[in-house]
Amino acid sequence: MRSTQNGFTLVEIAIVLVIIGLLLGGVLKGQELINSAKAKSLVNDFRTISTAVYAYQDRFRFMPGDDPAATQHVGGTNASSPSGEARGNGRVGGNWNSTTTTDESFLVWQHLRMANLLTGNSNFSDINSYFPKNADNGNIGITGAVPIRPATETATSSSSASVPMTGAFFICSDGISARLARQVDATMDDGATNTGNVRAMAQVDGAGAASGTAIEITAERERNSSDLYTVCVAY
């Protein structure tokens, strides 16, 4: 007795292909929505934190971290470092990602939180929960020192064809993908990650570098690289 095997018809195959296409389209669209939400969150971080800094300065006439009367104003800790950085001089001393608990840039978060301008842990005994995190779980920090040099400037030369970042303070956020870095710059600045008030530098060994050279993240670099970046915004 001959056995017969029934295959799929062209209509059935077409239906399956359509379903697969719809599923792939949904996945890609979902990923696009996730990336868009992350970019909006990163932008919101920069704007919310800068607003909090201005509010602290308006209320106490000092920058958070740099406030020489933080103990009196908010019950916080007065900074004692970096050495050579005067307290109350209107500048937040120290690297943006400093883990030295006496640095002005480290104490910024404690002062802002104890002033009820930001939420979070004001006790820095737990470093991991002390630093605010971005949407990609990277650290966020503040400094008064320019964290990013122009793309054509070297560490030993001050001459540059491009314009250096200028501002009263700089907010930096690390662990950011190339795509998100470009989206943040396009939303907040000129769309070029090596110029303007928003710039990016490559991270070093997976950790945010304290300072570095501005990098232009092109569409090709975005497509062909899984590198992470630190994005800084000048205010």
The domain limits of the chain are 37-234
Length of the chain: 235
- Angstrom distance (rounded) from CA 88 to CA 13: 73
pLDDT digits 0-9 by tens, 39-89: 999 999 999 999 999 999 999 999 999 999 999 999 999 999 999 899 999
CATH code 3.10.530 for 37-234: no
Cβ atoms 166, 196 nearer than 8 A: no
Q: What confidence category does residue 35 fall into, taking pLDDT thresholds of 50, 70 and 90?
A: confident
pLDDT digits 0-9 by tens, 156-198: 444 445 688 999 999 999 999 999 999 999 999 999 999 999 9
DSSP code of 94?
S
- Angstrom distance (rounded) from CA 84 to CA 50: 25
H or E segment and range at residue 24: helix 10-60
- Cα-based distances in Å from 41 to 51, 88, 173: 15, 32, 12
